[in-house]
Amino acid sequence: MNKPIGVMDSGVGGLTVVKEIIRQMPDEEILYFGDIKRCPYGEKSLEEVRKYTIEVADYLVANGVKMVVVACNTATAAALDILEERYDVPVVGVIEPGARSAIQSSTNRKVIVLATRGTVNSGAYKNAIINLNKNFQVESLACPKFVPLVEEMRYKDRVISRIVVHQTLKELYRSEADTVILGCTHYPLLAMEIQDYFGDSKKVIDSGYETARDVSAILTYQKARSESRDDVCHTILVHGDTERFEYILKDWLPFTLYEIKEIEL
């Protein structure tokens, strides 16, 4: 079924999930929606995030996607259950895959979740992990400076990134947790600095790999995988300024064909 997979995020962070989907399923076309104009979602109220998430998902479904991937942890926590009831196409979030990955990774059953305030306040990761294994201990920390660092395209400045990471994570440096979940799809762009800060004492993971595996499994089960082809071109829809998308696409997906369209909702 050569329909696109719809992927949505509040900004550029969801491209980290797109990268993994393309790596695992190179024949699949992506229709991506970045809601730059209203980013970041993590500092907004639950009602606002739910409203924005439904608007964006409605747009993707109206444009014929065969699946919606909510590549935003805050939006997943706020609205995944609503979207699952709202559409006939499957909807995949990033929290459940991230929780599974953390459980597989940890040896001492102690996990740290780094996320936006919205995701932390929702308790979504802690609930997902405990529901899978009640013996786990979960610490959560809101990292409000991380998303602006990425969205303002300053994440490539390693000096600034290291300073922000150190200031944000210093209270967790001596934590006994052996696994750190990057509970926001923007954070993998800071993964090197976060891993360097914790050193060998903790494994840093993101949910992109597991999310892509879920996407592949669902499409395979539904016999909805795209046919093999050499001309896959992805579409990047931007609600707002396209400049930061151009910058990160060149850095993050350098060998991928795509076109960018600036739109209004």
Q: Which active-site residues does the annotation give?
A: 72, 184
Distance CA 111, CA 261 (A): 39
Distance CA 23, CA 17 (A): 10
Distance CA 67, CA 4 (A): 8
Q: How many CB atoms lie within 10 A of CB 254?
A: 7
139 neighbors 115 (Cβ within 8 angstroms) = no
Binding residues: 9-10, 41-42, 73-74, 185-186
Binding residues for substrate: 9-10, 41-42, 73-74, 185-186
Q: How many CB atoms lie within 10 A of CB 171?
A: 9
- The string of DSSP codes covering 118-137 is HHHHHTHHHHHHHHH-TT-E
- Listing from the earlier edge strand, what are the strands of the sheet with 234-238? 91-92, 67-70, 5-9, 30-34, 234-238, 258-262
Distance CA 34, CA 262 (A): 10
Please give the backbone phi and psi of residue 155, each rounded to the nearest 5 degrees, phi first. Answer: -65, -20
Q: Give yes or no for a cis peptide into 40 (omega within 30° of 0).
A: yes
Distance CA 20, CA 107 (A): 25
What is the helix, strand, coil percentage profile of the chain, to 5?
A: 50, 15, 30
